[in-house]
Structure 1
Amino acid sequence: MHGSPIGEDQLLKRVWRRETDCPPKLGGQLKVSLAAVIAIVLVFCVGPGSIAQVKDARGAALLDLTVPAVAISADGRQIALVLRSGVQQQLHLRSLDTSESKPISGTEGASTPLFSPDGKWVAFFAGGKLKKVALDSGQIITVCDGAPLARGAVWGSDDTIIFTPDTASALLQVPASGGIPKPLTERKDERSHRWPELLPGNRAVLYTIAKGGSWDDGQIIGQRLDTGERRVVINGGTAPRYLATGHLIYVHGGALMAVRFDAERLEVSGNAVPLVPGVLMEARDGAAQFSVSKNGTLVYIPTNVSSTDRRLVWVSRDGSVEPLKAPARAYEHPRLSPDGKQVIVGIAGDSPNIFLYDIAANSLKQFTAEANNALPFWTPDGKRVAFRSTKAGSWNAFWKNADGSGTAEQLTHSQYLTEPGSVSADGKWLAFTEQTPTSRRDIWLLPLDGDRKPRPLIQTPADESTPRFSPDGQWIAYVSDASGRPEVYVEPFPQSGPKWRISTSGGREPVWAPNGSELFYRDREKLMAADIKTTPAFAAARPRLLFEGNYEGPLSSRANFDISPDGRRFLMLEAFGQREALAEIKIVSNWLEEVRVRVR
């Protein structure tokens, strides 16, 4: 075949050639081509060797790229992929000497695969748990609970797994054989420690913290595990990995960078060199899609796999879809105005900001400009938009007149990470979350009249987030992982009282129906609805499925959808361009030689 196209009828029949059959210009590169929602097409070229193409008849696709979706074993012989067929997400395993990938039974809902050092196990996260599967027998073991929104993991040579359990935590460690996770690091003024990497001897760890509005502004921290001493290793980057050549690699500006690194002193030397352009990095969470084996085989997903652009779509209760005319952008957290005529929405990027979309006029106008701004929502009277901003330094809550007049007014004055959630129906209270170095997120109240002195509303060892007042102001919905996984709860307001769990198998993104008769939330790809009655006493019916689909999920638990004022349809975000684009996964063998030559 030597570089010429292969017809679809040949794809199912094609098998590996010998290394000597590979065209020299393709030597050292492996490509996995993925038709985004139709099929996965794999093109392998291993070493200065073979090339072959195989079409996976199951129609699997790589769609969820918000967390790591690919890993390679230490010996470079096997690749673990998170693939999705329809709405089923599952681990697949492919050996480089075979012609097809195989799904791993019992790994439904998996994310963030990682191999054990000996290559006999693959660990993954699913259902709020850290699990591992034996590749010889298929046995699945739960390592630990309490990992609802994992943001990276590494399996050490001492058979300990270090991981970030959610978007608001430091690193934890747990024996790979199972146990109760123990804290490994402590947060200071940062929100979380993500994408860990152990250094040789398991004496120090690298991780990423957010700085500024983009993960290109992130800091890679090196921390000694015996003394707790930490230092900034890289200013501007994410997802560090150490190479046996004495180099540190990480992603910045969409490129895989490399720099000389002293693992004992936790110091870099010389200039960082961009080696591989176009490596996919998820803008909101800093997840970088690459993995390197001990023998120097690099696997990565290029940026053309998934555009960050999304389009606004109406989805009716039966699941039918109608796109809005708004141009595709990196939208997040859309909110409809109380009259349903406008949408206030964030647009992610190096400098995230908030935009106002007029539905009838089909006009998109920038609403905020100074600093970084995100997570907007309307006050119940539609006169203001509240949001979080770095205008005063750290993230705090602000609001601004909805017509754009005047200047933004700061509402909270915290040195810690705060996130506004909802304003009560009478306009007297702002519910927001705050996270300190010694706690996870808690829910606070800010009186919008008087002295504006915050007070705690829900404060427990669990992570509580996403407070949403009911339309009548008598109840508040929120998300808590007190049960070991995120669930949706409701409590009375302003009087304290018993709480009711609404979701039954995990839930995030609570949204009240405009008349308060239903509470909606999402359980992965499922949009669920629970009928609510508040008289003569509060009662919630068993949740029912409205529809299921691959719509954009939330950054944490905050709703990434909204409901129309008449309660008949939902405003969702749909990935744009994936159905048309041909995506690839690339693998480069003997890549360490390039690192040695180019980074001295």
Structure 2
Amino acid sequence: SWALAAALALVALSLAAVHFSERPTEVYPVRFTVPPPGKVTFDWLDIPVVSPNGQRLAFTGMTPEGKRALWIRSMESLTNQPLPGTEDAAFPFWSPDGRFIGFFAEGKLKKIDVSGGPPQTLFDAPLGGGGSWNQDGIIVFNPVEGPLYRVSAAGGETKPLLELDKSRREVSHSWPSFLPDGRHFLYLARSADAGKTGIYLGSLDSKETRLLVNADSNAAYAPPGFLIFSRQEILLAQPFDVRKLQVIGEPFPIAESVGRMTFIPGAHFSVSENGVLAYRSGGTSNSQFAWYNRDGKRLGSVGEPGDYRQIVLSPDGKRLAIERPDPKVGTTDLWLLELESGIMSRLTFDPANDSDPVWSSDGRRLLFSSSRKKANDLYIKVIGGEEELLFESGEDKFAEEWSKDGSSILFISLNGKAFYRLPGPGGSPGERKPELLLRTEFDKDEPHISPDGRWIAYNSLESGRWEVYVASFPKFTEKRQVSNAGGCQPLWRKDGKELFYLGMDGKLMAVDVKAGAGFEAGAPKVLFQTPLRADPIQNQYDVTGDGQKFILGEPIEQEVKPIKVVLNWTAGLKR
């Protein structure tokens, strides 16, 4: 009837009014921070990585004992869970199902089940540069400063995936990141030509590669269609067509003051498949050079504060060689500080990493390592003059010591597992043959020959913590431990009658030495408490020849930056 029809029409209109008056629930970004657990600190190596489903966060951090380890945290929890067996872990990455984490540690590529169990070693990776894991169980990774490789997530044979493009003057590939199809991936290719450094597109099925974006950064794809990467300290999103594999339009900023790594360029960020973004601010740790006497009295500062590494005093005590990162590109160069005037000048300008300076005994030259070719090789720089290649090989080599008579050079290879000796300058690089002096399964570093050339001091992890040892040189017999509660960075007094080292608690220690045909060492004595956080693979201090003054790279107190997490990060984009 007409009445019934009218009633039904009113009901329909009412329902329509209700329906059209309802608006979709607005989605907003949710931001929170994750501080480091306990007394753990973050530094330039520590990248937060979100699981693919956005439910967990994995990160590395440095313990007060100087050991880096891996933690995970559920987004639903307020606690961080350490993963046992992940000491020395760096650059973690998730499996697609979120059950495993791949990481680099002790010169190996490893994986660990986050539900429990020990890590499994997959392959050698002396200097890892990131990894990515696809749905078919293929891991693409960078084992050294060369091209990318592939390996099964179950372990087994590894195969080169790409080659360095000589036409583009490429020096390294790093930070692979699979796209949703599991066959194509993003990666960073660094070139001696800065204009050709960028984020490239690669494939498991082809050797062909293509430049997507000029940026010296790691990159990741984020649904519904963005490439995320950084330029300097700004995190950018670039529209990306995932079907055509092409960038669209211009990038726009999504976060500022995002920390960057040095040595292996990249930014501290990651993104999940469902809109979770994690990043960390502040990637540098500034320090101030300062003189101290043996009683711990601060005698004054030198130069300006900055991000400095590997400080080495010249033989005459007038200059300081320094490894210093360039925050714009993330690589390191060598600088020289005149201690009397405070004037600092740059020594190396190559876009590769130049690191680990070692003085010649006359103070006219510096031995150093550089990644200008496939691996870190050894070079010599004349102060105010030219550079020359001393020795190259397929393995990474890090300069450590130059004998007083100039005839021998020591370097570390195999990710800190071996000490080698090499003839000094003279002849062609190809004629030099390294001599293996010591190789063990334990990490070791900072070898320094005694002034009389008969003994060598170094720090090793063989006891389970870093300690200082002295052995005969070059045979490494008659070894004895000289530190008694942890130690690193041993240095000899010029007359060989005293050995200094840094305790793992930051105390500067001294040991009286009687060295000749035999070696006798007294009990370690505390000179003073330094403000340093001991690092067994860095030179954080040096001492004058008479052992009366010490120069330190004092850390400038900075707040430890927490990890920042943004849920629904795309909801904050302007529509």
1:319/1:72 CA distance change after superposition, 3 Å: farther
Tell me the residue number matched to 1:66. Answer: 44
1:285 aligned to which of 264, 270, 280: 264
Does 1:32 pair with 2:33? yes
Tell me how far 1:452 sits from its aligned partner: 7.8
**Contact 1:380 1:425 (C-alpha < 8 Å) held by counterparts:** yes
TM-score scaled by structure 1? 0.67
Instruction: For 2:234 and 2:355, locate their aligned partners in 1 and report how far apart those are by CA, in whole Å.
Output: 26
Residues of 1 paired with 2:56 and 2:454: CA distance? 55
What is the Cα deviation at residue 292 of structure 1? 0.8
**CA, structure 1 residues 322+251, in 2 after alignment: closer, same or farther (shift >3 Å)?**
farther
> In 1, distance between residues paired with 2:305 and 2:358?
20
CA distance in 2, matches of 1:223, 1:254: 26
Q: 2:456 aligned with 1:456, yes or no?
A: no
Instruction: Report Cα offsets for 1:302-336 as digits up to 9, x if no partner.
Output: 23xx5442233568999999884443112122111
Identify the residue that residue 73 of structure 2 maps to in structure 1: 94
Contact kept in structure 2, 1:238 and 1:251, CA below 8 Å: yes
Q: Is the contact between residue 72 and residue 291 of structure 1 (CA under 8 Å) also seen in structure 2?
A: yes
Please name the residue that 2:313 is paired with: 336
Matches within 5 A, 1:508-587: 514-515=494-495, 536=517, 551=533, 553=535, 559=539, 561-567=541-547, 571-578=551-558, 581=559, 583-587=561-565
Q: 2:180 aligns with which of 189, 200, 216?
A: 200
Distance 1:66 1:322 in 2: 30
Amino acid at match of 1:343: L
Q: CA deviation at 1:241?
A: 0.8
Partner of 2:325: 348
Q: Deviations over 1:447-499 (max 9, x none)?
A: 54577875122489x99998866544578889999xxxx99999998xx9788
Q: Provide the C-alpha distance between the structure 2 equivalents of 1:64 and 1:268, rounded to a whole number of angstroms.
A: 33
Which residue in the other structure is 1:75 paired with?
53
Distance change (3 Å), C-alpha of 1:357 and 1:174: same
Matching residue within 362, 369, 379 for 2:360: 379
Identify unmatched segments of 5+ residues in structure 2: 1-24
State which of 381, 397, 418 in structure 1 corresponds to 2:379.
397
- Percent of aligned positions that are identical: 28
Query: Would the aligned equivalents of 1:208 and 1:221 in 2 still touch at CA under 8 Å?
Result: yes
3-state SS of the aligned residue for 2:119?
strand
| Aligned position for 1:48 | none
Separation of aligned partners in 1, 2:179 and 2:315: 53
One-letter amino acid matched to 1:150: G
Q: Give the counterpart letter for 1:252 in structure 2.
A: R
Letter in 1 for 2:191: K
Partner of 1:245, secondary structure, is coil
The 1:429/1:60 distance shift into structure 2, 3 A limit, reads: closer
Which residue matches 1:11? none
Distance 1:479 1:286, change over 3 A: farther
Structure 2: how far apart are the matches of 1:475 and 1:187? 43
Point out the more displaced range, 66-75 or 527-536: 527-536
SS at match of 1:193: strand
Specify whether residues 355 and 149 from structure 1 end up closer, same or farther in structure 2 by C-alpha distance, changes over 3 A only. closer
What is the TM-score when the length of structure 2 is the normalising length? Answer: 0.69
Quickly say closer, same or farther: Cα 1:101–1:26, change in 2 above 3 A. Answer: farther
Partner AA of 2:288 in structure 1: R
Q: 1: CA distance between counterparts of 2:30 and 2:403?
A: 57
Match of 2:7 in 1: none
> How many residue pairs get matched?
527
1:294 equivalenced with 2:270 (yes/no): no
Q: Distance in 2 between matches of 1:200 and 1:168?
A: 26
2:137 to 156, 159, 170: 159
CA gap of 1:238–1:522, structure 2 versus 1, over 3 A, is farther
1:211/1:321 CA distance change after superposition, 3 Å: farther
The CA deviation string for residues 416-451 of structure 1, in whole angstroms up to 9 with x for no partner, is: 89876544322356667999xxxx999685654577
Alignment of 1:412-561 (within 5 A): 412=389, 422-428=401-407, 445=422, 447-448=424-425, 454-458=431-435, 471-472=451-452, 514-515=494-495, 536=517, 551=533, 553=535, 559=539, 561=541
CA contact (8 A) 1:111 1:125 kept: yes
Alpha-carbon distance in 1 for matches of 2:152, 2:515? 46
Check conservation: 1:174, 1:180, Cα contact below 8 A: yes
Conservation of the 8 A alpha-carbon contact between 2:504 and 2:534 = no
CA RMSD of aligned residues (A): 5.5
Aligned equivalent of 1:52: none
**Structure 1 CA distance for aligned equivalents of residues 411 and 218 of structure 2:** 30
Give the 3 Å change call, closer, same or farther, for CA 293–29 of structure 1 in structure 2.
same
- 8 Å CA contact retained: 1:144, 1:181: no
AA partner of residue 304 (structure 2): P
Separation (CA, whole Å) in 1 of partners of 2:403 and 2:323: 22
Contact 1:143 1:176 in 2 (8 A): no
Number of the residue aligned with 2:161? 185
Q: Deviations over 1:264-318 (max 9, x none)?
A: 7765344333332222112332232111111011111123xx5442233568999
User: What is the CA–CA distance in structure 2 between the aligned matches of 1:25 and 1:357, rounded to whole Å?
Assistant: 57
Cα pair 1:434 1:444 within 8 Å, conserved: no
Whole-angstrom CA distance in 2 between matches of 1:128 and 1:346? 23
Change (3 A) 1:102 1:520: same
Contact conserved, 1:385 with 1:400, CA < 8 A, in 2? Answer: yes
Whole-angstrom CA distance in 2 between matches of 1:309 and 1:415: 32
Distance in 2, matches of 1:386 and 1:432, equals: 10
CA distance in structure 2 between the partners assigned to 1:568 and 1:420 by the alignment: 27
Deviation at 1:73, TM superposition (A): 1.9
Q: CA deviation at 1:75?
A: 1.8
Secondary structure of the 1:210 match is strand
1:507 and 1:184 map into 2 onto residues whose CA distance is 39
Aligned to 1:141: 119
- 8 Å contact from structure 1 (residues 447, 454) kept in 2: no
Cα separation, partners in 2 of 1:356 and 1:488, compared to 1, 3 Å: same
Give the letter for the 1:565 counterpart. Answer: G
Sort the Cα spacing of 1:500 and 1:284 in 2 relative to 1 into closer, same or farther, 3 A: farther
Residues 508-533 of structure 1 deviation map (CA, whole Å, 9 limit, x = unaligned): 97866645678889999899999999
Q: Secondary structure at the match of 1:140?
A: coil
The match for 2:20 is none
Q: Secondary structure at the match of 2:135?
A: coil
Indicate conservation of the 8 Å contact 1:526/1:545, yes or no: no
* Contact in 1 for aligned 2:27/2:568 (Cα 8 Å): no
Tell me, in whole angstroms, the C-alpha distance in 2 between the residues paired with 1:370 and 1:121.
41
Q: Is the alpha carbon distance of 1:492 and 1:108 closer, same or farther for their aligned partners in structure 2, counting shifts above 3 Å?
A: closer
Residue of structure 1 in register with 2:94 after alignment: 115
